[in-house]
Amino acid sequence: MLKPIFHHPTLPSAHMKYLLITLLLVAFYIHTAAQSLSQEVVANGGAFHETGTHSISCTVAEPINTTLDTNDYILTQGFHQVYRSPLQVKIFLEGAYTNNAMTTHLQNGTDVIPLQQPFNTAPWNYFGTEKTSSIPSNLTDWILIEVRAGINNPVIVEQAAAFLLSDGTVQDMDGNPGVKLDNVKSGTPYHFIVRHRNHLAVLSDEYITFPFNYFYDFTTSTYQAYGPNQLKLMEDGTYALFAGDFNADGAITVADYNFYSAEVSAINQYTDADANLDKNVTVADFNLYQPNASKIGIPQVRY
């Protein structure tokens, strides 16, 4: 077995011992201070070691890459692929609901659905880059998913905009089922909020962990949403989000009526006052708002 030889013509043995000790301490520091890469990093081969909240992973026979973050230390050796975990959701919007599905009227005639996610204004202020070159033919509208670390934890772990299809399922920009999330950790419990432009947002009652291999279905029971009566029971026994939160602040109030009044008579437009998603703001939208007036979302979804 070959042993490493350190040689320096002017380096005394005491200095050599000091150098070796220093190298060992640096290696130990990197090992213990490296930010966890955990299961969100998938490697072709190599090793993974974890101590407490920190871990280090490496691959073999590949180029070495090292990244240093200004807040935490991230050690990456070799080529890694980011593990993106999909969240699959089923949800209906009251305003667009009909016969166990939703309409796609925003695409009738002139398609008014934007190619880029529409949540980059108040109150959402989400500046994600989700966009598409073409709208799926079965698209009802965009939705925004917001992952939380707990029921009462205001920290947003991640947000992502996605397509809401007419059957209530969600699709990402690449046409894959579910919402792809980059920042969730495998095995960690999360709750998530579903937001829409003019329907009352809901928070999942149950926590989920990733990998997530089934649908979280808000359409089957009012208890799928956290808080009392946060989903509306439709005539056929299906549950849907309450229509009429035109300003998307998490409560259906007179402020929403004022929002509607300012937009009434808008034709062939993508406007938040269009509760039934038919591109027009008419009395039909008021008729959806009126029975839901005074409906208040839980504090976790309110802005």
pLDDT band, residue 50 (cuts 50/70/90): very low
More confident residue, 124 or 21: 124
**Six token digits for residue 276:** 């039934």
Dist CA 269 CA 236 (whole Å): 30
Q: Is the pLDDT of residue 56 over 50?
A: no
Residues 135 and 178 in one domain: yes
Q: In which domain, by residue range, is 54 found?
A: 13-82
Q: Is the pLDDT of residue 61 over 60?
A: no
Q: Which of 72-81, 90-99, 206-215 has the highest mean pLDDT?
A: 90-99
Tens-place pLDDT, residues 268-302? 999 999 999 999 999 999 999 999 999 999 999 99
Question: CA dihedral defined by 242, 246, 252, 258, rounded to 10 degrees?
Answer: -150
Tens-place pLDDT, residues 95-126? 999 999 999 999 998 899 999 999 999 999 99
Residues 158 and 234 in one domain: yes
- The answer to whether position 113 is within a domain reads yes
Reported as type and span, the H/E element at residue 158 is strand 156-165
More confident residue, 144 or 41: 144
Residues 23 and 51 in one domain: yes
Residues 73 and 31 in one domain: yes
Residues 63 and 201 in one domain: no
**Six token digits for residue 283:** 């009395």
pTM over 0.85, yes/no:
no
More confident residue, 12 or 40: 12
Q: What local confidence, expressed as pLDDT, does residue 16 receive?
A: 53
Reported as type and span, the H/E element at residue 140 is strand 139-148
Q: What local confidence, expressed as pLDDT, does residue 213 receive?
A: 85
Residues 144 and 245 in one domain: yes
- The answer to whether position 182 is within a domain reads yes
Residues 44 and 129 in one domain: no
Mean pLDDT of 70-96: 67
Q: What local confidence, expressed as pLDDT, does residue 38 receive?
A: 38
Q: How many domains does the chain contain in total?
A: 2
pLDDT band, residue 27 (cuts 50/70/90): low
Tens-place pLDDT, residues 173-211? 999 999 999 999 999 999 999 999 999 999 999 999 999
Residues 76 and 112 in one domain: no
Cβ atoms of residues 240 and 231 within 8 Å: yes
Q: What local confidence, expressed as pLDDT, does residue 19 receive?
A: 52
Residues 196 and 67 in one domain: no
Residues 73 and 109 in one domain: no
Q: What local confidence, expressed as pLDDT, does residue 259 receive?
A: 98
Q: Is the pLDDT of residue 72 over 70?
A: no
pLDDT band, residue 85 (cuts 50/70/90): confident
- The answer to whether position 5 is within a domain reads no
Residues 120 and 221 in one domain: yes
Q: Is the pLDDT of residue 140 over 70?
A: yes
CA atoms within 13 A on the CB side of 149: 7
Instruction: Give me the sign of the Cα torsion angle 45, 46, 48, 54.
Output: negative
Tens-place pLDDT, residues 210-264? 998 889 999 999 999 999 999 999 999 999 999 999 999 999 999 999 999 999 9
- The answer to whether position 140 is within a domain reads yes
Residues 110 and 141 in one domain: yes
Instruction: Give the three-state DSSP class for 299.
Output: helix
